[in-house]
Amino acid sequence: MSDEAAPGGVLRLRGREFGPGSHAVMAVINRTPDSFYDRGATYDWGAALAAADAAVASGADIVDVGGVKAGRGAHVGAAEEIERTAPFVAELRARHPEVVISVDTWRAEVGRACAEAGADLVNDTWAGADPDLARVAAEAGAGLVCSHTGGLAPRTDPHRVHYADVVADVLETVTGLARRAVALGVRPDRVLIDPTHDFGKNTYHSLELTRRMGELAATGWPVLVAVSNKDFIGETLDAPVEQRGPGTLAALAVSAWQDARVFRVHDAGAARAALDAVAGLSAPAGGGRRV
């Protein structure tokens, strides 16, 4: 990798900088009727706007807009996904010009429409399933999240998945996708890597990734952590989805302590408080907050 493409510096999105040691909160807004967590609570336009406004007021740095449920469910075509996301992104951009806006999609045409509407980041949670999505990010000057699914296709579930070393597999995949993104023209300071807990993984794998998060941070690429209320937390704590808040905050704290940079969450206020506590606890004595 050339010096120009070398990771390890500051993440820059929409004129904002998130350096090593800082913690950016990414608030989830699901414009879907069947989200695993909120079960359609922000599908309605007004409810989604209210949730986004509240998240920003609670300390969210990034708002991540999704138009398709990650797991199995009713088919949603690209045109419908665009209708659910792009106009909403445009409205968010008008309401919150300073906030970083992300779109959660694996489709190039959706990424392009949302970038044109004002999105700053393409959150590809399906590991480059559409190889043109990285080109869209490059052409739009947007950032890109590079993820790992173990070869799983979009909206499918893992079955008896096995890795000799899940962390090694994740590292190889996400750093390879990051290098490809840079080669295609995405700026290195706009690329993140995401181990993508539960996607193509069982609970053991997601726990192992959480324990060894520092190995991903050591690559120099900013790490995005998306663990909020996920199944591995529920299975670990024997907790239904509505009772996974404390486990989520614990996983965020463990990840933040190991230098993860961006945290995708359903409760922006609670995450902001927990991450600020981690920053304070990890600051050198007498040195104030680590930023």
* pTM, rounded to two decimals: 0.94
The one catalytic residue in 31, 84, 107, 264 is: 264
Tens digit of each residue's pLDDT (9 = 90 or more) over 78-92: 999 999 999 999 999
Query: Would you tell me how many other CB atoms lie within 10 Å of the CB of residue 221?
Result: 25
Over range 205-234, report the average pLDDT.
98
105 lies in a domain?
yes
4 lies in a domain?
no
Residue 211: is its pLDDT beyond 80?
yes
16 lies in a domain?
no
156 lies in a domain?
no
Tens digit of each residue's pLDDT (9 = 90 or more) over 32-65: 999 888 888 999 999 999 999 999 999 999 999 9
Residue 111's contacts (CB-CB under 8 Å, 6 or more residues apart) are 103, 105, 119, 122, 124, 133, 136, 137, 140, 142
Tens digit of each residue's pLDDT (9 = 90 or more) over 107-134: 999 999 999 999 999 999 999 999 999 9
139 lies in a domain?
yes
Calpha distance 115→110 (Å, rounded): 8
9 lies in a domain?
no
Residue 264: active-site member: yes
Q: Are 233 and 29 contacting, i.e. CB atoms less than 8 angstroms apart? A: no
25 lies in a domain?
yes
Over range 149-158, report the average pLDDT.
94
Query: Would you tell me how many other CB atoms lie within 10 Å of the CB of residue 10?
Result: 13
The one catalytic residue in 230, 244, 261, 272 is: 230
Q: Are 133 and 124 contacting, i.e. CB atoms less than 8 angstroms apart? A: yes
Least Cα distance to 62 among 23, 31, 36, 33 occurs for 23
Tens digit of each residue's pLDDT (9 = 90 or more) over 260-291: 999 999 999 999 999 999 999 988 765 544 44
Q: Is 162 helix (H, G, I), strand (E, B) or coil?
A: coil
**Domain range for 124:** 21-151+162-282
Domain count, the chain: 1
Tokens standing for residue 183: 């080669």
103: domain CATH number? 3.20.20.20
56 lies in a domain?
yes
Task: Output the pLDDT for position 1.
Answer: 38
